[in-house]
């Protein structure tokens, strides 16, 4: 039971499914002053037909979604240069555009493209960047997001996250013969909600997706055996392993920074939820906490030395910290009656938690040095915060009516976007790390 067993059972594992309902992202609140930028439609140089994707459109949407930029409406573009020589800065200054992006897609051999682009500072009339991004037909959309990443980093000094992905769980319910049938899906999509791929589909609940640090695997909890079990699934091949199916609860997997261990919450025989680390290579289980309290929802410190987690040792759920080798736990949160499901910020200095804010469940940041609490979201039943890998934003689950939808908020609380899914109830978003490939 404790061995790694590849399972191909009652659950559909899907590698790719085009044509799925995609997410649309709406900006609900922006910064006071988003920078005006013009993204001119890219030119095309090649023997065949142009690739089906509008590079400038994807890039402009990415930049707009960050809340820091306000791309000019395409119909307002006075000129449409595709090479530096065609740029007339005077025209762009009239339109009060701070920055200008032009480019073209060049095809060398079939299926091989190069996205060439330039970034200009309109006011100074100078080129800031010239860049060539290789692409293939298969990963063309991803390459467009990389272009946006490069531009964003050049203009803000912060690494872009447009080419990262998000994992989340959807539930759709249907009624037949008076019975409600639920279908749970583990979904991976691009950070803009497009390019949806269903990884697992089951009639039983799926929970707690967690990205491996290399972004290649996702650990999650599945109830397909009518009880909780933890799986690790490879995203590229779709193959998966059951890593924990012990008696009682198997839950809340969290990868160690080196990707070698999972912190998990198990109830085993005694029925108490305690934290353990599970070495994925040796299957060795190390117990970190004990006692009658509910100990769950672990998250690792950046150095892998500490684990922050939820415990009800003092009645309501609060965040505690324990050494990754075990030992006595130290309480970290004191403000409010409910602080649960900590997630470590990429800078290692803050935790995002679910916080009870005057009866509302909201996403809050806990500053570890000052132990202060800052509420970021404004919903009634917000949950499952997950940091973007550059630490600029959090994605979380909120409600629209009875439906779960995803939303993002910048960590300074100023920029909010909402991501309504077309069908189903969406929950438990997890933002991927920066992609290596």
Nearest distance, CB of residue 228 and another protein, angstroms: 7
Number of residues binding to another protein, judged by CB under 8 A:
47
Helix (H, G, I), strand (E, B) or coil at 97: coil
- CB nearer to another protein: pick between 128 and 313: 313
- CB nearer to another protein: pick between 167 and 293: 293
Nearest distance, CB of residue 276 and another protein, angstroms: 14
Q: Does 249 bind another protein (CB under 8 A)?
A: yes
Name which of 186, 292, 245 is nearest 1 in CA terms.
245
Nearest distance, CB of residue 324 and another protein, angstroms: 19
Q: Does 402 bind another protein (CB under 8 A)?
A: yes
Cα–Cα distance, 169 to 190 (Å, whole number)? 14
Q: Does 310 bind another protein (CB under 8 A)?
A: yes
Q: Give the full edge-to-edge strand order of the sheet including 416-419.
A: 26-29, 416-419, 403-410, 393-400, 383-387
Name which of 294, 315, 300 is nearest 210 in CA terms.
300
- CB nearer to another protein: pick between 110 and 271: 271
* Binding map of another protein across residues 206-225, x = CB under 8 A, - = no contact: -xx--------------x--
Name which of 129, 125, 117 is nearest 90 in CA terms.
125
Residue 130 structure tokens: 């010239």
- CB nearer to another protein: pick between 36 and 205: 205
Cα–Cα distance, 216 to 254 (Å, whole number)? 14
Q: Does 354 bind another protein (CB under 8 A)?
A: yes
Name which of 274, 277, 269, 318 is nearest 292 in CA terms.
274
Query: Using alpha carbons only, how large is the chain's radius of gyration in Å?
Result: 23
Nearest distance, CB of residue 402 and another protein, angstroms: 6
Which run of H or E residues covers position 154? helix 140-156
Q: Does 377 bind another protein (CB under 8 A)?
A: no
Cα–Cα distance, 248 to 232 (Å, whole number)? 19
Place of tokens 């930049």: 63
Which residues in the 174-193 window bind another protein by CB under 8 A?
A: 182
Nearest distance, CB of residue 24 and another protein, angstroms: 24
Residue 38 structure tokens: 């013009």
- CB nearer to another protein: pick between 176 and 281: 176
202 within 8 A of 11, measured Cβ to Cβ: yes
Cα–Cα distance, 404 to 382 (Å, whole number)? 9
Nearest distance, CB of residue 259 and another protein, angstroms: 21
Nearest distance, CB of residue 329 and another protein, angstroms: 11
Binding test (CB under 8 A) with another protein, winner from 296, 299, 417, 432: 296
Q: Does 428 bind another protein (CB under 8 A)?
A: yes
Q: Does 351 bind another protein (CB under 8 A)?
A: no
Pseudo-torsion of CA 330, 351, 150, 71, nearest 10°?
Answer: -170
Binding test (CB under 8 A) with another protein, winner from 297, 300, 376, 407: 297
- CB nearer to another protein: pick between 4 and 314: 314
* Among 33-41, 43-51, 56-64, 289-297, the segment contacting another protein (CB under 8 A): 289-297
Name which of 75, 103, 64 is nearest 87 in CA terms.
103
Buried-exposed string 236-254: b where 16+ CB fall within 10 A, e elsewhere: eeeebbbbbbbebbbbbbb
* Among 97-105, 156-164, 201-209, 408-416, the segment contacting another protein (CB under 8 A): 201-209
> What's the angle, vertex CA 137, arms to CA 136 and CA 141, rounded to 5?
90
Residue 238 structure tokens: 């779709």
Question: β-pairing, 69-71 with 35-39?
Answer: parallel
Q: Does 299 bind another protein (CB under 8 A)?
A: no
Binding test (CB under 8 A) with another protein, winner from 108, 181, 314, 325: 314
Query: Interface residues with another protein (CB under 8 A)?
Result: 182, 205, 207-208, 223, 226-228, 248-249, 251-252, 265, 267, 271, 273, 292-294, 296-297, 310, 312-317, 331, 334, 338, 340-341, 354, 356, 361, 372-374, 380-381, 383-384, 399, 402, 427-428
């Amino acid at each position: 039971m404790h061995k790694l067993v590849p399972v191909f059972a009652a659950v559909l594992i899907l590698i790719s499914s085009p044509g799925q309902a995609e997410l649309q992202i709406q900006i609900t609140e922006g910064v006071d002053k988003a920078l005006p930028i013009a993204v001119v439609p890219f030119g095309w140089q090649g023997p065949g037909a142009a690739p089906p994707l509008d590079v400038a459109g994807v890039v402009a949407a990415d930049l707009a979604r960050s809340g820091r930029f306000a791309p000019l409406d395409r119909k307002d573009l006075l000129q449409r240069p595709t090479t530096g020589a065609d740029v007339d800065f005077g025209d762009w200054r009239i339109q009060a555009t701070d920055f200008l992006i032009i480019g073209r897609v060049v095809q060398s051999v079939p299926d091989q493209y190069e996205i060439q682009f330039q970034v200009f500072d309109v006011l100074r009339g100078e080129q800031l960047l010239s860049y060539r991004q290789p692409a293939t037909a298969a990963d063309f959309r991803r390459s467009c997001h990389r272009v946006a990443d490069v531009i964003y980093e050049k203009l803000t000094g912060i690494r872009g996250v447009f080419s990262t992905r998000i994992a989340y769980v959807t539930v759709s319910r249907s009624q037949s013969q008076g019975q409600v049938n639920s279908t749970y899906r583990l979904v991976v999509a691009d950070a803009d909600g497009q390019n949806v791929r269903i990884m697992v589909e089951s009639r039983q609940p799926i929970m707690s997706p967690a990205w491996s640090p290399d972004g290649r695997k996702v650990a999650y909890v599945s109830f397909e055996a009518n009880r909780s079990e933890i799986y690790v699934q490879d995203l590229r091949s779709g193959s998966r392993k059951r890593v924990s199916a012990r008696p009682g609860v198997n839950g809340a997997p969290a990868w160690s920074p080196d990707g070698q261990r999972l912190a998990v919450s198990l109830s085993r025989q005694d029925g108490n939820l305690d934290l353990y680390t599970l070495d994925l290579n040796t299957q060795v289980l190390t117990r970190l906490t004990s006692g009658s309290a509910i100990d769950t929802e672990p998250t690792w410190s950046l150095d892998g030395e500490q684990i922050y987690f939820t415990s009800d040792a003092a009645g309501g759920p609060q965040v505690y910290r324990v050494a990754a080798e075990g030992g006595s736990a130290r309480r970290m949160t004191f403000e409010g009656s409910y602080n649960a499901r900590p997630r470590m910020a990429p800078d290692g200095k803050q935790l995002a938690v679910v916080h009870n804010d005057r009866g509302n469940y909201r996403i809050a940041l806990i500053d570890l040095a000052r132990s202060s609490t800052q509420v970021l979201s404004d919903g009634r039943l917000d949950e499952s915060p997950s940091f973007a890998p550059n630490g600029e934003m959090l994605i979380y689950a909120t409600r629209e009516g009875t439906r779960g939808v995803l939303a993002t908020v910048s960590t300074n609380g100023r920029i909010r976007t909402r991501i309504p899914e077309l069908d189903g109830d969406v929950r438990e978003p997890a933002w991927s790390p920066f992609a290596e490939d």
